[in-house]
Amino acid sequence: MANSTDPELYRFVLELAFYLLIAFGVLVIAVAAVYVAMFMKGNFSGQSIARILQQTDGPKLVTIVLIILSSSLLGMLGIIKGEAVIALLSGIAGYVLGNQHGRRETEDKTRSD
């Protein structure tokens, strides 16, 4: 360990990362099962399925959660410093909040057409 991290902290963070990965996998599988059940029960066309998937932010949410978890764990290990973690998290917050504003404008334009 080049950054002189305490071995006990290192084991704790690895165990925490392992359990978070399992929980995240269970969540993704549950969401996938809900989507499969929804699509099996309904009579959806290809266009309506594309519209539903386009309106959901599943891939963005997954990416944001993984970035937050990984930056937090790397910060706990001391691999990246506090300023870098803060920069990552504030960048994500700006992206999410800025994206919500753009989405509202798009929805308003769609409704008025």
Q: How far is CA 51 from CA 15, 26, 28, 48, 63, in A?
A: 39, 26, 20, 5, 21
pLDDT of residue 1: 44
At 29 the pLDDT is: 92
Question: Which of 61, 23, 27 lies closest to 15 in space, CA to CA?
Answer: 23
Q: What is the pLDDT of residues 7-61, one digit of tens each?
A: 888 888 888 888 988 988 898 899 888 878 877 777 767 777 777 777 777 777 7
The pLDDT of residue 26: 92
pLDDT tens, residue by residue, 61-105: 777 888 888 888 888 888 888 888 888 888 888 887 787 665 555
CB 13 within 8 A of CB 78: no
CA dihedral defined by 42, 45, 47, 49, rounded to 10 degrees?
Answer: 30
Enter the pTM of the model. Answer: 0.58
